[in-house]
Structure formats: C-alpha cells, structure tokens
Amino acid sequence: MSSQLEHPTLLIPGPIEFDDDVLQSMSHYSESHVGPGFVATFGDTISMLRKLFQTTDPSAQPFVISGSGTLGWDIVAANLVEAGEDVLVLSTGYFGDGFADCFETYGAKLTKLTGTVGGRPQLPEIEKALKSKKFKMVTVTHVDTSTGVLSELENLSKLVKSVSPETLLVVDGVCSVACHRMPGRPVDIHVQRQGHRGFQGAQDPARHVLCFHEELDADHAELRGQEAVLLRDALAAVDPRSAHRTHPDSVEAAIRALCDAPRGLGWIKKAVADLGLKQVASNPEDQAHGMTAIYLPEPVKATDLLPKLAKAGVVWAGGIHKEIAPKYVRFGHMGVSVTDPARKDIDKAIKALSNGLEECGYKA
Ligand SMILES: Cc1ncc(COP(=O)(O)O)c(C=O)c1O
C-alpha cells in the first residue's frame, strides 16, 4: 500500500509514478562524499547498473550524471563527435529527430534515415548508408516515446560491426532500459543512456545514467573546450571520492526496485487491442513494452478523451509526432505502476479508457 498522498495516477511516457522507497530515499540526510556510507551506496549503484544494462563485460562502465534526458544527447554530441564529422541518425519519431538536431547544433554532418510513421528504418537502407561514407557514429532511439516504436538492436549492431567496425553505436534508452532485454553478446553497443523513465521515478539530482560498453579511446573521445566538462565530470563520477556532485541514493533505490521486477506486459497491449484500437507502431515486433501510442477511433478526439481520463484520476499524454499529433494518445506503463500490480494503476487506466471512449461516442 503506497504511503503517498492521494493523487492522479501519472501514466505518461515519463515522468512516471514514484516507488515509495525511491521517494523516501530522496530525503536522505546529507553525508560525506568520502565516508563509508556514500562509498558503499555508490559502489552498489555501479554494480547494479551493470546488471540493469545487462552486461557482464568488465569494461562496461556506467556513469551516474545529474541532468535531464536531453543532457545525454549533449554529452554524446559534444564529446564523441567533432564538428564536420559524419553521423548517421536512425529516427523513429520526435526524439530521433531531436537527437539529430542536437548533432547539427554541435556542427556534425548529419545523415538521417527516418522510418515510415509507426515503423523504423530497415537494415538494407541502413547498410546502403553505411557503405556510402565513413560515419563516426550511428545513433538509434531504442524506444521513441512519440510513437512507441521499438528499434531492433541485435542485427543493427552486427551490421554496423561488419560494414563499419570503427563506427560507434549509440543507443538512446530513455524508455527502454529495464523495459526491454538488451541483445546478448556479441553486440557492440558503445554508449547507452537511460533517463528517469524505467527508473521507478528516480529524479534529480541523480537521475541520468550513461553506460559505456567499451572503453572509449582518445580518438573517440577527444575533449573540446567547455563542452568537454560534461564527459570529464562523468569520468570523475566513477571515482566515489570525486562523486560529490551526484547523490545516488534515489538511483540506487530505483535500481534495487527494478532488479527483481516482474516482466511480461503483453496483457496491456491485448487490453488495448480488445477495445478495437490500433497502435501507432503497426508491427507487433516493433512495439515498445513500456508504453503504447494509440490511434483514436472515430469520432473520438484527444481533447475530449484526455479530460475524461483525468476526471477518472488517470493522466495520459497527447500525440507529439508532427504528422499525426491530433490522431493519437500516449499511455506510459512503466516503473511501479507495472512492478506493483497491487496498485491497480493499469487496470484503472484501461477502465478509464473504455469508459472515456464510450462517453466520447465510441463503442468497442
Ligand atoms: C526517447 C527519448 N529521448 C530523450 C528524451 C529527452 O529526455 P528529457 O525530457 O528528460 O530531456 C525523451 C523524453 O521524453 C525521450 O522519450
């Protein structure tokens, strides 16, 4: 039973509902950054992050970094790519496009492959692009929260490795880490990042995690002026004695809550399908586990449905993909809302959806 004040259930693709332990850990008393308590917490956090990123590779190095999710884009674009270098961005929606904009801001030369709405770029076109020039980096949004499209990593990683082994593969995992299995070795993901989404609500000041799956050599990580501070701070944070900028208690509590979490969310997709609704991600293999983007049936409008859900105590998000924004809504099912079924958050949301649709004139 949650000890939190009664509040509307936040079921958007991030931020998400808090786990009680995570919320409480954020009021932890201050302690010395060189004291045994902090050092132990920090060490445990790093070990558990390896588990969360599903790697046993001893060279995989997680970093805990303070900042918003987009900071991860900045860290990558500012530190791992030089102005004028080529980057291939695989986009499946708004956030892939945002990552691309970030590279352009830092002066990279951009090639973007965009999937059809609700789909993803396919391997043959990616191979063609990879053979056309030498890319410093390929980026992929594992789950784009604007569309709920899941990108495939295993074959992509093999392709990059075989066609262009020097190219870095960067995965934006804001809405996928802890929701999806990472493909097993031999997979070559070089940088993977995680925001607060799958993290049981872990928030500032330590909610952002990067995992370098291979040691980045000097060639890959040239430091440039001011911007390089981001990466230098990240490197410093690996050493607990220099880690006082971050307070990892909330991250630690969040990971603890996740490591033993139940999996298997197929029933949520089924409940949506049983209402006769279609997902933006059309191919079942490309559908995210932690969220669902749902097309609205005739005659329902998002501006009518969302307030009805809110009245039933459920907060969902509207569409943000520029081509289809008014035609769909977004439902986040991550963190404690799924790991603690006793809360009944998801049942409440499905019931609210069914009733809301009916009130808007749609009958399943
Ligand atoms: C896939 C993805 N990448 C990056 C971001 C940006 O994260 P933030 O809003 O924390 O800056 C988001 C935000 O929703 C996202 O869904």
What is the residue-level pLDDT of the chain in tens, covering all 364 positions? 678 899 999 999 878 888 788 778 777 788 887 888 888 888 887 787 777 777 776 667 777 766 677 888 888 888 888 999 999 999 999 999 999 999 999 999 999 999 999 999 999 999 999 999 999 999 999 899 999 999 998 899 889 989 998 888 888 888 877 777 666 443 455 555 554 444 444 443 333 455 555 444 434 333 333 223 333 333 333 333 333 333 445 455 555 554 444 444 578 888 999 999 999 999 999 998 889 999 999 999 999 999 999 999 999 999 999 999 999 999 998 878 887 778 899 999 999 999 999 999 998 8
From residue 167, alpha-carbon distances to 41, 86, 88, 97, 158 in Å are: 35, 10, 10, 20, 12
DSSP state of 362: -
| Ligand 1 centroid, distance to 98 Cα (angstroms) | 9
| Ligand 1 centroid, distance to 102 Cα (angstroms) | 13
> Coil, helix or strand for 146?
coil
Point out the ligand 1 atom lying closest to the alpha carbon of residue 141: 1
Point out the ligand 1 atom lying closest to the alpha carbon of residue 146: 16
What is the pLDDT, as a whole number, of residue 225? 32
Q: Which of 12, 71, 95 to mutate to test the pocket of ligand 1 (most atoms within 8 A of CB)?
A: 95
Write the class of the CATH domain 9-16+263-359.
alpha beta
Boundaries of every domain in the chain: 9-16+263-359, 20-258
- Supply the pTM of this predicted model: 0.85
What is the pLDDT, as a whole number, of residue 221? 38
Q: Which of 65, 68, 70 to mutate to test the pocket of ligand 1 (most atoms within 8 A of CB)?
A: 70
Ligand 1 site residues (CB inside 6 A) read 14, 68-70, 95, 141, 144-145, 172, 174-175, 195
| Ligand 1 centroid, distance to 100 Cα (angstroms) | 13
> Whose C-alpha lies nearest to ligand 1, atom 7?
69
Point out the ligand 1 atom lying closest to the alpha carbon of residue 145: 16
Count of positions (residues) in the chain = 364
What is the pLDDT, as a whole number, of residue 210? 55
What is the pLDDT, as a whole number, of residue 236? 35
DSSP state of 16: B
| Ligand 1 centroid, distance to 36 Cα (angstroms) | 34
What is the pLDDT, as a whole number, of residue 191? 58
What is the pLDDT, as a whole number, of residue 66? 65
Point out the ligand 1 atom lying closest to the alpha carbon of residue 70: 11
Architecture of domain 20-258: 3-Layer(aba) Sandwich (3.40)
What is the pLDDT, as a whole number, of residue 319? 98
> Whose C-alpha lies nearest to ligand 1, atom 5?
69
What is the pLDDT, as a whole number, of residue 193? 52
Distance (Å, whole) CA 153 – CA 158: 9
Give Cα 234 distance to the centre of its chain.
19
What is the pLDDT, as a whole number, of residue 192? 57
Question: What is the tens place of the pLDDT at every residue in 31-59?
Answer: 887 888 888 888 887 787 777 777 776 66
What is the pLDDT, as a whole number, of residue 106? 94
Distance (Å, whole) CA 302 – CA 304: 5
Point out the ligand 1 atom lying closest to the alpha carbon of residue 208: 10
| Ligand 1 centroid, distance to 126 Cα (angstroms) | 24
Q: How are the residues of the chain apportioned to helix, strand and coil, as percentages rounded to the nearest 5?
A: 40, 15, 45
| Ligand 1 centroid, distance to 34 Cα (angstroms) | 32
